Amino acid sequence: MKHWKILKKTGEFMTRFSWADAHPLLTEYYDTEWGRPVFADRLLFELLILEGFQAGLSWLTVLKKRKTMQIAFSGFEVAEIVKYDDNTLNTILDIPDMIKHRAKVESVVTNARAFQKVQQEFGSFSDYIWAFVDEPVVRYYEREADVPVKDELSEAVSRDLKKRGFKFIGPVVSYSYLSAIGMIQDRL
């Protein structure tokens, strides 16, 4: 149903955001992943990295390169990524179809180490990130233009993640991340 999405959990219909209709890959992502609550640490890490790579790029670009990134970054397995050295990073940067931004590639290792520390402190990254809310924050907007790019929650999460050593996670990236993992659920 073009322009509509059924929310599996509630059976509720909602208008699809226009960005999701711009390309079939975006539509598929929107209809099957975006905004669904995520609790698995591996997927939480993957989406954190993908959102960071989006900074300065389009989400479509990142989605087109997602499979390459999954292979390059060991399926986003944190325990593997923390072992990466400069040679590994150089090899990744040489992969065809990889986003060739050295600081972003290096941030994957930095973020994996910070992610692992959070897991050790809280038992899981999921327990840590979901502790910022009691339940998903659901807000309705009349117009897509009214949806914010950041809010108090994304600013607080960004501040805390940066304090813990994470990179490429400003308030706007944080808002996108929290939306992707279903913690913030903006609807039209």
Catalytic residues: 29, 51, 59
Closest CA to 84 of 115, 65, 66, 105: 105
CA–CA dist 164, 57 (Å, integer): 25
CA–CA dist 164, 35 (Å, integer): 25
What tokens appear for 96 in the block? 């065809």
| DSSP assignment string, 21-78 | GSSHHHHHHHHHTTTS----HHHHHHHHHHHHHHTTS-HHHHHHTHHHHHHHTGGG-H
